[in-house]
Amino acid sequence: MNEQQQSLLVQSASRFPPPQGIKLSYGTAGFRADASILQSTVFRIGILAALRSLKTGGAVIGLMITASHNKVSDNGVKVADPAGEMLTQDWEPFADSVANAPDPESLIQLIADFAKKEDIPLNGSKGATVLLGRDTRPSGESLVEAAKQGICSVIGAVGIDIGVVTTPQLHWIVRARNKDSKPSASELDYFDQVSTSFRCLIDLIPNKSQHGIGKLIVDCANGVGGEKLQVLKQKLNWSDVEIRNSGEQGVLNEQVGADYVQKDKVAPQGFGPPDVGVRCASLDGDADRLVYFTIIPNGNNRINLVDGDKILSLFALFIKDQLSILTDYTNEYQPRVGVVQTAYANGASTKYLNQLGLHVIFTPTGVKYLHEKAHEFDIGIYFEANGHGTILFSNRFLRWLEDKKSTEKSLEKQNAAMRLWAVSKLINQAVGDALSGLLLVEAILQHMGWSVEKWNELYHDLPSRQLKVKVADRTAVVTTNAETIVEKPPGIQEAITALTVKYPQGRCFVRPSGTEDVVRVYAEARTQEAADELATSVAKLVDQFLGFHVGM
Is 380 annotated as a binding-site member?
Answer: no
Whether residue 75 is annotated as binding a ligand: the answer is no
- Residue 517 · residue 472 · CB < 8 Å: yes
135 is in an annotated binding site: no
* Residue 513 assigned to a binding site: yes
Give the Å distances, CA to CA, from 343 to 347, 390, 486.
Answer: 9, 18, 13
- 520 assigned binding-site residue: yes
What is the tally of helices (H) and strands (E) in the chain? 18, 20
Confirm whether residue 284 is marked as ligand binding: yes
Tell whether residue 515 is among the known ligand binding residues: yes
Is 384 labelled a binding residue?
Answer: yes
The answer to whether 12 is annotated as binding is no
Up-side HSE of residue 532: CA atoms within 13 Å toward CB? 4
**DSSP assigned state of 462:** P
Q: Identify the three-state secondary structure at position 254.
A: coil
Return the active site residues: 68
Check the annotation: does 13 bind a ligand.
no
* One-letter amino acid for residue 377 of the chain: F
Q: Sign (positive/negative) of CA torsion 215, 219, 222, 224?
A: negative
The dihedrals phi and psi of 504, each to the nearest 5 degrees, come to: -55, 135
What are the backbone dihedrals phi and psi of residue 151, each rounded to the nearest 5 degrees, phi first? -60, -45
State yes or no: 68 annotated in a binding site. Answer: yes
Q: Dump the DSSP string for 131-173.
A: EEEE-S-TTHHHHHHHHHHHHHTSTTEEEEEEEE--HHHHHHH
Strand-strand pairing, 216-219 and 157-164: unpaired
Residue 489, preceding peptide bond in cis (omega within 30° of 0): yes
User: In this structure, which long-range contacts are made by residues 438-441, counting pairs with CB atoms below 8 Å and at least 24 apart in sequence?
Assistant: 438/218, 438/229, 438/281, 438/283, 438/290, 439/194, 439/197, 439/198, 439/232, 440/198, 440/201, 440/315, 441/281, 441/290, 441/292, 441/311, 441/314
**Residue 41: which residues within 8 A CB-CB, separation 6 or more?**
18, 24, 31, 33, 77, 99
- Does the annotation list 512 as a binding residue? yes
Residue 543 labeled ligand binder: no
Residues annotated in the binding site, as ranges? 68, 284, 286, 288, 384-386, 511-515, 520
Residues annotated in the binding site for substrate, as ranges? 384-386, 511-515, 520
Residues annotated in the binding site for Mg(2+), as ranges? 68, 284, 286, 288
